[in-house]
Amino acid sequence: MKLLVQKDFDYNKVVLPDKELINSHLDKYLEIRYPQLIWESIRYSVLADGKRIRPLLMLESARICGGDIENVFPIACALEMLHAQSLIHDDLPCMDNDDYRRGKLTNHKVYGEAIAVLAGDALLSYAPKVIIKHTPDKVDKKVLLQVLEEFLKAAGPMGIVGGQVVDIESEEKEIDFATFNYILSHKTGELFKFAMRAGALLSGATEEKLEALSFYGKTIGYAFQIADDILDVTGTLETIGKTPGKDQNSKKNTHVSLYGLEESKKELEILCINAQQELIKKNINSPLLMAIAEQIVARVLK
Ligand code: GRG
């Protein structure tokens, strides 16, 4: 099986309108209030130039399930806020200790550690508030509650926090595949899976479609982390927007440190092929989802 390439599909051009809509909603939700300093610090990180891959996936998942994307923006933006929070905290001296993120100085380098911690904390509690306050009334409350529960699960010790804890615990240790698998699927896979599930749930998807989209999300999320591990070795500050070589310096268990660069590239491609094939098998027609799987591979080969 081969990775399917979308001919004449200009990814950046196709996603631009949605990216602009996501950014304008984020800008609106994060208007500056009192105390100004915390909102400035939050806006500095959230509105910085990120790929917005998670909210883009959520919008597409809703579209292909026949949903109204107006219902999805608050949750898509809350997910981007949660992601930004994880980046702010991940960059702190007590975690990965990085000076650069999204091509500029990290939050704590500009605002200091105390405000960076608080910006993360504030985002974590403000994001669910955005979901509750801004999701249109026409969304079924039972569905909204399920989405909210899945959001909080993905954000907490059964999701991204759990992944990060096992990642930290495993530094400088030999770990088995089950432990490594847990790290990747929780640290990164959970937010991708949630993106696909939330879009589908809000759009009344059938159980079969929901399962297929969940599989796609968790598979490309896992692949995305392998790509991130590869780029930590092969990328530069200019291409990845953060300091390369951090994983090796902190003796982290990454796909590359465990299996080598070539094996990691192969595994990345296999996962993205599997994600594409799942869509084909379940008759889910989305040139964008096909292209995203392809882009994850293309990014590391550039
Ligand atoms: C969520 C409560 C809570 C705590 C966070 C710090 C932490 C716990 C988790 C770290 C998780 C982490 C940083 C995983 C790496 C995921 C990853 C590949 C990030 C890069 O994502 P991109 O490439 O970044 O989408 P942009 O900048 O484009 O958005």
pLDDT tier, 209 (very low <50, low <70, confident <90, very high otherwise):
very high
Q: How many CA within 13 A on the CB side of residue 143?
A: 18
Q: Give the pLDDT of residue 248.
A: 81
Condensed to tens digits (0 to 9), the pLDDT of residues 262-295 reads: 999 999 999 999 999 999 999 999 999 999 999 9
pLDDT in tens, 126-139: 999 999 999 999 99
Tell me, using a 6 A CB cutoff, whether residue 295 lines ligand 1. no
CA distances to 2, 9, 54, 144, 180 from 6, in Å: 12, 6, 20, 34, 32
How far, in Å, is the centroid of ligand 1 from the Cα of 89? 9
- pTM for this entry: 0.97
Q: Look at 184-193, 213-222, 244-253 and tell me which has the smallest mean pLDDT.
A: 244-253
CATH of the domain at 214: 1.10.600.10
DSSP code for 241: S
Q: Is residue 99 part of a domain?
A: yes
Distance CA 73, CA 97 (A): 32
Residue in this structure with the two tokens 């500009």, named with its chain if needed: 110
**Helices and strands counted in the chain (H then E):** 16, 2
Neighbours of 147 (CB within 10 A): 22
From the list 132, 125, 133, 143, the residue with the least C-alpha distance to 42 is: 125
The confidence score (pLDDT) of residue 2 equals 94
Predicted local distance difference test score (pLDDT) of residue 238: 93
Domain count, the chain: 1
In a domain, 5, yes or no: no
114-142: average pLDDT: 98
| Binding site membership of 116 for ligand 1 (Cβ less than 6 Å) | no
Give the model's pLDDT for residue 251.
86
Q: How do residues 17-41 score in pLDDT, each as one tens digit?
A: 999 999 999 999 999 999 999 999 9
Q: Residue 246 — pLDDT band, cuts 50, 70, 90?
A: confident
Range(s) of the domain holding residue 236: 11-301
Does any domain span residue 3? Answer: no
225 part of a folded domain: yes
| Residue 4 DSSP class | P
- Write the residue with the smallest CA distance to atom 29 of ligand 1: 50
Q: Is 196 a domain residue? A: yes
Give domain status of residue 229, yes or no: yes
- 197 CA to centre of ligand 1 in angstroms: 19
Nearest ligand 1 atom to the CA of 54 is 25
- What is the band of 116 on the pLDDT scale with cuts at 50, 70, 90? very high
Would you state the structure tokens that stand for residue 279, as one six-digit string? 């869509």
* pLDDT at residue 247, rounded to an integer: 84
Q: Is residue 6 part of a domain?
A: no
Ligand 1 within 6 A of CB of 185: no
Residue 135 domain flag: yes
- Centroid of ligand 1 to alpha carbon of 86 (angstroms): 5
Q: E strands, 15-117, where?
A: 100-101, 104-105
**H/E element, 235:** none
Please give the Cα distance from 165 to 186 (Å, whole number).
Answer: 10
Ligand 1 centroid, distance to 7 Cα (angstroms): 31
What's the pLDDT band for 231 if we cut at 50, 70, 90?
A: very high
